[in-house]
Amino acid sequence: MSEEIEWWEYEDVAEMAEAVAGDIQFIVESAIEARGGAVIALAGGKTPVPIYARLARAKLDWKRVTIIPGDERIVPLGDPLSNVTMIGKTFLPAGARVMPIVPQAIADYKAAGRSADALMQDLHWPLDLCLLGVGGDGHTASIFPGPDFDEALNGPKERRMLGVLPDPLPADAPVPRVTLSRAAIVGAASVMIAVTGTAKRKVLEAAIKQGPSSTYPIGRVLADTELPVDIHWAP
Ligand code: 6PG
């Protein structure tokens, strides 16, 4: 297990959004100062929406900021399930470069993963930041139990994205996905997790305790890494 997991607790979601947006702003500013640009992966799902609303108002040189979704549901752009559509709504008006990783719905999810992985070669690595969410079932990004679980966790280090068919399909978005691999996530310069609610907190605590044999994907991602990880939590 990572020795450097730090929990940050807030009164409410608004306070968490303010703090996490501030941390991301600092990371992005530092990267721009250091090398003229920043590349960050942002979580999909609903939890980070208030964080993004707050972050998009930050005074940043947004044209130097490339944003990718850390995972994507394989649906057409504009679909309510599309993570990049949600992220783009907030950050495109600010002037950021928001990159779809699945430009069109490809029936073959493995091919979609290979195409996303090829796109990644045009970006600066490692990521300056990977912001993760966690599902109630313990998945993170789109690392789910199923036929691609082992590849997502233990595939070749140079594979940054891959196609995933969750088994079972999650009820709230029952579609195949493309996701960052564990190697790409834990290779990031900063990793942050933002979650809300007691149920997810319990899942995360159990996952961290279980370590490398965790039944939860987030436990497997965080296990055996020296990576400092900030977990931001609000009720
Ligand atoms: C996705 C996400 C995923 C998300 C969790 C939590 O596309 O499914 O990126 O990993 O972070 O499912 O989602 P909520 O914030 O909506 O609970």
pLDDT tens over the chain, length 235 residues? 455 899 999 999 999 999 999 999 999 999 999 999 999 999 999 999 999 999 999 999 999 999 999 999 999 999 999 999 999 999 999 999 999 999 777 889 999 999 999 999 999 999 999 999 999 999 999 999 999 999 999 999 999 999 999 999 999 999 999 999 999 999 999 999 999 999 999 999 999 999 999 999 999 999 988 889 999 999 9
Please tell me the distance from the alpha carbon of residue 56 to that of residue 28, in angstroms, as a whole number: 12
- pTM of the predicted structure, to 2 decimals: 0.97
- From residue 132, alpha-carbon distances to 42, 111, 136, 150 in Å are 7, 24, 13, 19
What is the CA(156)–ligand 1 centre distance, in A? 25
| Ligand 1 atom with least separation from CA of 70 | 9
- Please state, in angstroms and rounded to a whole number, the distance separating the CA atoms of residues 182 and 220: 9
Report which residue type is found at 103.
Answer: P
* Alpha-carbon span 227 to 198, nearest angstrom: 25
Report yes or no: 221 and 186 within 8 Å, Cβ to Cβ.
yes
Ligand 1 pocket residues where CB is under 6 Å: 43-47, 71, 73, 83, 133, 135, 139-142, 173
Centre of ligand 1 to C-alpha 139, Å, is 8
Domain locations in the chain as residue ranges:
2-234
CATH of domain 2-234: 3.40.50.1360
**In a 10 Å sphere around its CB, with 0-12 CB exposed, 13-18 middle and 19+ buried, how is residue 121 labelled?**
exposed
- Identify the helix (H) or strand (E) that includes residue 65: strand 65-69
pLDDT at position 66, please? 98
Query: Distance of CA 61 to CAs 51, 95, 130, Å?
Result: 18, 8, 19
CA angle 35, 222, 128 (to 5 degrees): 10
Distance CA 119, CA 160 (A): 10
At 161 the pLDDT is: 98
Ligand 1 mean position, distance from CA 165 (Å): 15
